[in-house]
Amino acid sequence: MLKKLLSGLFGSGSQGVAESGTKAADPVEYKEYLIVSQPDNQSGQYRVSGWIRKLDSEGATQEHRFERSDMLPGREACDAMMVTKAQRYIDEVGDAMFAPDPRREGQV
């Protein structure tokens, strides 16, 4: 399952570069979810952010952009904090993270 998900997510050969220009870290599998750290580099500090992804029952990828206000001086520490915070979020929210945000209904 992990191999299929990874090939679908990164099939273009790109490791995914965010608007900030940082490269995505290798995904970490947790309870059928993939956690992908892709911190935002802001003047030498890294903001905890990335993606939480999961294959649905039809094989389509669902994804949730995960961003926090935490800033860390090192990339490795930021990646580790992203994984820890994402795991906690998964435990608390589960698949509800993929539900449409009612605050954004009607916005274009």
Q: pLDDT of the chain along its 108 residues, tens only? A: 444 444 444 443 344 444 445 788 899 999 999 999 999 888 889 999 999 999 888 888 889 998 888 899 999 999 999 999 999 999 999 888 888 877 766 665
Q: CB atoms < 10 A from the CB of 81, how many? A: 17
What is the reported pLDDT for 15? 43
Give the β-pairing of 33-37 and 45-55.
antiparallel
* Secondary structure (DSSP) of the chain: -HHHHHHHHSTTS---B-TT-PBPPPPEEETTEEEEE--EEETTEEEEEEEEEEE-TTSPEEEEEEEEEEEES-HHHHHHHHHHHHHHHHHHHGGGGGS--GGGTT--
What is the reported pLDDT for 43? 85
Question: CA nearest 63: which of 39, 86, 80?
Answer: 86
CB 34 within 8 A of CB 53: yes
What is the reported pLDDT for 105? 67
- Mean confidence (pLDDT) of the chain: 80
